[in-house]
Chain A
Amino acid sequence: MSQTEHETPLVELRDISIAFGGIKAVDHASVDLFPGEVVALLGHNGAGKSTLIKILSGAYKRDAGQIFINGEEVQIDNPRDAKKYGIETIYQTLAVADNVDAAANLYLGRELKTAWGTLDDIAMEAEARKVMGRLNPNFQRFKDPVSKLSGGQRQSVAIARAILFNARILIMDEPTAALGPQETEQVGDLIKQLKKEGIGIFLISHDIHDVFDLADRVSVMKNGQVVGHAKTSDVTKDEVLGMIIMGKCPPGAIPGPGALQTV
């Protein structure tokens, strides 16, 4: 990667805040992401990771803060806006439509149409077979509603949907939670491949071991605040664990508002 590409981030979330009732789920959080980069967003359950990225994906409306894509401020008010900017999301809850089949899920909201303007189910199924073949070669159940699939199969459907439309920015919220070791490895390979294609990836996890080797940088959250950012080459796993658990920033990291003040 050349230095020029690093000058403007692909995505910058600046001073984002949102509260539910009295709870500040995200509190003045700032994170950024460059093309071809994997940023792991780490933190305990309830730290505010999912909430923060749902603001980027248009699922929640922020109370305060700004979003920049390629240096330009953008308005993201709903999932349609986010998709317009090439932001694709695999949600922690998967968010698949249970009662329709895999192909319908992959194309939900962006269906292929025939010359007459009707749904082109055959073409969609053919494409779905291709993409799913890449992700999960054993997958054959194209006629079943997604509710009948196993956790891992549903996960593949959610992932396939995100990579089908040439995303520029991919958000993966605990993508391997429902997967076995072999499938987890497949997702790891996929991330490396997408990274090579220049896609920026936010990889969210509560478990550092899942993501440390894949990530270029980590951003750690605690109680809705950002503890700090660090290149994975500048810190050790144990130091990042210290950030996650105690909010303690090691020397190799850039502290955020959530960092423990005096050491």
Chain B
Amino acid sequence: MHVDGGVQVSQSTTTTGAGRVENEGPFTRFLRATEVDVRLLGMIVALVTIWIGFHVYGQVVNGRGAFLSARNLWNLSVQTASIGVMATGMVLVIVTRHIDLSVGSILGFCAMMMAIVQVWILPEYLGLGHPMIWIITVICGLLIGAAIGAFHGYLVAYLSIPAFIVTLGGLLVWRGAAFLLARGETISPVDSTFALLGGGPYGSIGAAGSWIVGILICIGVVALLITGRRQRNRYNFPLRPMWAEVFLGLVGCGVTLGFVMLVNSYPWPRGIVRQYAEANNIQTPINEIFISHGFAIPVLILMAVGIVMTFLTSRTRFGRYVFAIGGNPEAAELAGINTRWVTVKIFALMGLLCGLSAVIASARLNSATNNLGTLDELYVIAAAVIGGTSFAGGIGTIYGAILGAIVMQSLQTGMVLIGFDAAIQQMVVGGVLVVAVWIDTMYRRRAK
């Protein structure tokens, strides 16, 4: 495998990074120059295989390949958001050798609390549809989630109860609490502005907005590459070869703009267009109007969370401590890190992200049901692990977890599309989770 080759090469390289090493394959050299992770490549290959697999299966068996359509991929992006947001938090939890089994239940509880706040409580004081309702509601959801997470973290860190037990308890407690809140009722509809946070035609930013977002991201990618190179140059650290920088920039921008084109090619459905045309007095015949969805708001939320979490893990003390604790908890403590307090913060952050996912999930559903988020913990943990987070601790990336979430959601969506029923879906998800951890264990053993 290339993995081994890579490790050996870097060990024998005592010259500074850019130096050529004899008998190195072109592929290995490419990986080293671009600093692209082999696992990342593996994940992308797996993802593409899944997508093509479902598409071809649909074409052959059902006579219609629906997977690689703009409509399905757009929906996939929206459905990934909720799991993806939580998966970024799960990375930190697993990196520090803990686990959080309660995320689905926290999501359910937060969603129920938010529904009560925005449907039963706030309209009485502010009036229905008041513009502050959604803001207060979201803040409530985030705070409740963070508080629950902090409480779990306190039990784990200061009372030394294993996270597995604390959050297994939490799984039952918060699900039960969500039921008690509304005695099992479904609360709907949610506030109309709040509902936009769940996506849908109105909850998307359209073609122009999407281009703006896409171009901003491209500028960001290029800026990161340039400042990184400049910084390293200033201190005379080894640099990536120029072609590798250009390659990374092109791939980054290409994927971004491709994604923009994809979401822009999915038009609003006829019914919505008609409504919109009537509401705005547009005379053009309905079938000549093409209004793009563009990025859905939940997707933008996921992107923002991804950026913030990546920043947090790689550029702040907190992130540094999370990884140091995961690599060697004792050494971290001896280095003077307050490991217990960091643990509380990690779980609080996980809870906060559950609250955010609760916003997305209940807004998308336009209601809060008692079982919202059920089994999400499995998808979230699987996403983190597929994305390269190791149960051995100390290793994991945010982008990996988001990719992992896309993989899990692709499996789920694909199985629905080709008509697998819920029972088989569950079996597949369970199996994938176990296999993913197995692969990770093998990979770590070989890399040693």
Contacts and interface: CB of A to CB of B under 8 A. Distances in A.
Interface stretch (B49-57, B70-78, B259-267, B332-340): B332-340
A96 B333 CA distance: 10
A109 B337 contact: yes
Interface in A213-250: none
Contacts, number: 91
B232 A122 contact: yes
Given A122-B232, A143-B17, A99 B326 contact: yes
A99 B395 contact: yes
A122 B231 contact: yes
A104 interface: yes
Interface in A86-139: 89, 91, 93-100, 104, 108-111, 113, 117-119, 122, 125-126, 138
B320 A111 contact: yes
A119 B315 contact: yes
Contact of A111 (B10, B15, B317): B317
A151 interface: no
B327 interface: yes
Given A95-B328, A122-B235, A100 B323 contact: yes
Contacts of A24: none
Contact of B235 (A78, A108, A126, A148): A126
Contacts of A118: 311, 315-316
A91 B332 CA distance: 13
Contacts of B328: 95-99
A57 interface: yes
B284 interface: no
Given A80-B338, A111-B320, A96 B331 contact: yes
B335 to A, nearest CB: 4
B324 A100 contact: yes
B327 A108 contact: no
A149 to B, nearest CB: 10
Contact of B335 (A99, A109, A140, A144): A109
B316 A108 contact: no
A190 interface: no
Residues of B in contact with A, size category = 20 to 34
Contact of B336 (A79, A117, A125, A140): A79
A102 B403 CA distance: 29
A148 B235 CA distance: 24
Task: Name which of B11, B317, B394 has the most chain A CB atoms within 10 A of its CB.
Answer: B317
Contacts of B232: 122
Contact of A97 (B314, B316, B317, B332): B332
Q: Is the interface of A mostly helix, strand, loop or mixed?
A: loop
A44 interface: no
Most chain A Cβ neighbours within 10 Å, of B323, B328, B332, B334: B334
A119 B323 CA distance: 14
Contacts of B331: 94-98, 108
Contacts of A28: none
B332 A108 contact: yes
Contacts of B10: 144
Contacts of A57: 334
Nearest to A161: B335
Nearest to B393: A99
A61 to B, nearest CB: 13
A222 to B, nearest CB: 26
A152 B336 CA distance: 24
Contacts of A78: 333, 336
A104 B235 contact: no
Nearest to A140: B14
A145 B394 CA distance: 11
B330 interface: yes
Contacts of A91: 334
Nearest to B234: A122
A138 B15 CA distance: 10
Contacts of A89: 334
Contact of B394 (A98, A108, A148): A98
B5 to A, nearest CB: 15
Interface string B290-322: 000000000000000000000100111100100
B16 interface: yes
15 contacts: A59-B333, A59-B334, A78-B333, A80-B336, A89-B334, A94-B331, A95-B330, A95-B334, A98-B331, A104-B320, A108-B320, A108-B332, A118-B315, A122-B234, A122-B235
Given A110-B336, A119-B314, 9 more contacts: A57-B334, A95-B331, A97-B332, A99-B326, A100-B324, A104-B324, A113-B317, A140-B14, A148-B11
**Shortest Cβ-Cβ A-B pairs, 7 listed:** A99-B327, A99-B394, A109-B336, A95-B331, A97-B324, A108-B335, A109-B335
Interface of B: 10-11, 14-17, 231-232, 234-235, 237, 311, 314-317, 320, 323-324, 326-328, 330-338, 394-395
